[in-house]
Amino acid sequence: MVAILMIVCLVGIIMIRPAYAGSKGNLTLTVAQTFDAVGKKPTPNDVFTYQLKPDNASFPMPEGSNDQSYTFSLEGTNSLDILFEGFVEPGTYTYTLDNITGPRPDYTSSRTVYSLEIWVTRELDTLLIAYAEDGLKAGSITFDHSYDSGKQTPPSVGSKPKSPIEQSRSGMLNAGTFSGLVPKTGDEFPVMMLFAFLLGVCLVVGRTTWRRWQ
* CATH (domain of 27): 2.60.40.3050
Please give the pLDDT value at position 211: 62
Residue 197 lies in a domain: no
Cα–Cα distance between 84 and 119 in angstroms, integer? 12
Neighbouring C-alpha atoms within 13 Å toward the C-beta of 199: 6
pLDDT of residue 159: 44
End-to-end Cα spacing for the chain? 167
Rg of the chain (C-alpha set): 40
**210: in domain:** no
Residue 65 maps to a domain: yes
Q: Side by side, which strands form the sheet with 78-84?
A: 78-84, 27-38, 141-148, 107-109
Contact 115, 130 (CB under 8 A): yes
Whether 119 is in a domain gets the answer yes
Residue 162 lies in a domain: no
What is the rounded distance in angstroms from the CA atom of residue 138 to the CA atom of residue 189?
A: 75
Q: What is the pLDDT of residue 67?
A: 77
Instruction: From 145, 115, 141, select the one nearest 31 (Cα to Cα).
Output: 141
* 59 occurs within a structural domain: yes
Total domains in the chain come to 1
Per-residue pLDDT at 108: 92
In a domain, 178, yes or no: no
Q: What is the pLDDT of residue 17?
A: 31
Residue 35 CB-density burial (10 A; 0-12 exposed, 13-18 middle, 19+ buried): buried
Q: Within a domain: residue 44? A: yes
Residue type, 201: V
Q: What's the pLDDT at 213?
A: 58
Supply the range of the domain harboring residue 96. Answer: 23-148
Tell me the mean pLDDT per 10 residues along the chain, length 214.
42 32 79 88 86 96 92 96 95 97 92 96 95 91 91 48 52 42 46 69 67 60
Q: Within 13 Å and on the Cβ side, how many CA atoms surround 34?
A: 8
Please state, in angstroms and rounded to a whole number, the distance separating the CA atoms of residues 109 and 103. Answer: 8
